[in-house]
Amino acid sequence: MVTSRIPGFYKLSLADRRRAAAEVLGVPVRELDAVLGALDVRAGGLDTKTADKTIENVIGTYAMPFALALNLQMNGRDYLAPMVVEEPSVVAAASNAAKMVREGGGFASESDAPIMISQIQLDGVADAARATSAILARKDELLRAADRAVPNLVSRGGGARDLEVRDLGDGWLVVHVLVDCRDAMGANLVNTIAESLAERVARLAGGRVGLRILSNLSDRRCVRVRCAIPPHVLATEGYSGEEVRDGIVRASQFASRDPYRAATHNKGIMNGIDPVVIATGNDWRAVEAGAHAFAARGGRYAPLCTWHVSGHVSGDAEPTLGGLGPFAHERAGWLVGLMEIPLQLGIVGGTLRVHDGARLGLLAAGVDSAQELSMLCACVGVASNLAALRALATVGIQRGHMALHARSVAIAAGAKGELVERVAQAIAESGHVTIEAARAELHRLDRGMVDAAE
């Protein structure tokens, strides 16, 4: 049984962290070492030879930190979230917020079936209404033809499920084939289907074939997340839990009113989502494209995750999201977060075939399906949003950022081993997070050690 509570994980040495993670995941630590590389060697699950076969013009590989977010509980189960990201404080913030959510019973999440949209563009259609009827009249036959183009998917339980026709005006039609991609992200599958059906639907419509490609606005493949947090766990120095809760709600309202703020609010959500997408070998450009298009679906760019106070929504019944309603143990006055987001993720094929790091990411996530991975990913997104809003609504984010940034500055100044933390702490507390301050502190500590030794 995986636990995502590993107290003091961040204080362990890298080697001990690997040992702890291996124990929780139930894998030999040498497996982690084999993928991540010996501790003193730069590696990350992809060797140069494989990289050279993966894309063009390769001159090497590019490593990023691979971390685990802790404390996550979703639908009553603990998860470790693998995160590949370069931005300091993202993993710590998500883990910290997940701990607060845990106090309220963890995340509740649900997902749609893994349906992707295959688009076939037609133009030069003289009579759109007649063409639409002609295509819809052959729906079953077209769906069967689509299935014949992807036999392996059909044998895995997926396949074409429905077909819709949209009239874009001026003789332009677009045919959507809805395809259940099961555990694949599905881009190749739905592109194959679009290409294989295009001529046939064009003949039925009396039009010309245009583009044949998936839509990254995968709004039939959404994930919903809900969490509810008792206010006292939100309290932070100088702010009561209620003050923090109300500040988070106001921040959420700001994002709902202002697309400029909504973009940054959503960036904070993607801070949690993208690293998991990358760690599990998925296509983060697709996920980003889908998320932002979905955020603008109402004609105005809006926040993907919103926050309100339970039982206090202008006298209305507590809002539900899909099948996610209030928890039985929830009380009026708790902070509630709701998010719906399209996520197009796979746990088979693609990068997973070649990248050991991505396979390790999947192993760490401990998920059995693409839907479960999408739900986990969305929970990390909500946790990241919560952490950002809590900081912004109180002391601001710079203090936390600076504390973490101080570590990189200490390393850049030459600190090694335990001196990294000591130098970082000293310069963060002094408010001067600069190389010069770090060097001076290092010098001071070095001197102290020499003096003590004499």
- Please report, as ranges, the residues that interact with ligand MEV according to CB under 6 A: 87, 264-265, 267-268, 271, 388-389, 392, 397
Which candidate in 110, 180, 183, 283 is catalytic? 283
Half-sphere exposure of 129 (CA within 13 A, CB side): 0
Rounded to a whole number of angstroms, the minimum distance from the CB of residue 392 to ligand MEV is 6
Which candidate in 401, 405, 421, 432 is catalytic? 401
Report how many helices (DSSP H) and strands (DSSP E) the chain contains, helices first: 16, 10
Query: With respect to ligand MEV, which residue has the nearer C-beta, 90 or 173?
Result: 90
Which candidate in 16, 23, 47, 87 is catalytic? 87
Query: With respect to ligand MEV, which residue has the nearer C-beta, 85 or 363?
Result: 85
Q: How far apart are CA 415 and CA 212, in angstroms?
A: 55
Q: 312 catalytic, yes or no?
A: no
| β-bridge mates for residue 236, sequence order | 239
Q: How far apart are CA 305 and CA 268, in angstroms?
A: 10
Q: 283 catalytic, yes or no?
A: yes
Tell me which residue of 102, 117, 101, 127 sits closest to 336, measured CA to CA. 101
Query: With respect to ligand MEV, which residue has the nearer C-beta, 33 or 288?
Result: 288
Backbone angles phi, psi at 420, to 5 degrees: -55, -50
Output the residue with the shortest Cβ distance to ligand MEV: 268
Query: With respect to ligand MEV, which residue has the nearer C-beta, 122 or 262?
Result: 262
Query: With respect to ligand MEV, which residue has the nearer C-beta, 352 or 387?
Result: 387
Residue 50 tokens read as 């494989």
Tell me which residue of 57, 60, 34, 36 sits closest to 48, measured CA to CA. 60
Sign of the dihedral through C-alpha 375, 377, 381, 386: positive
CB 228 within 8 A of CB 105: yes
Q: 11 catalytic, yes or no?
A: no
Q: How far apart are CA 246 and CA 242, in angstroms?
A: 6
Q: 87 catalytic, yes or no?
A: yes
Rounded to a whole number of angstroms, the minimum distance from the CB of residue 232 to ligand MEV is 23
- Catalytic annotation, residues: 87, 267, 283, 401
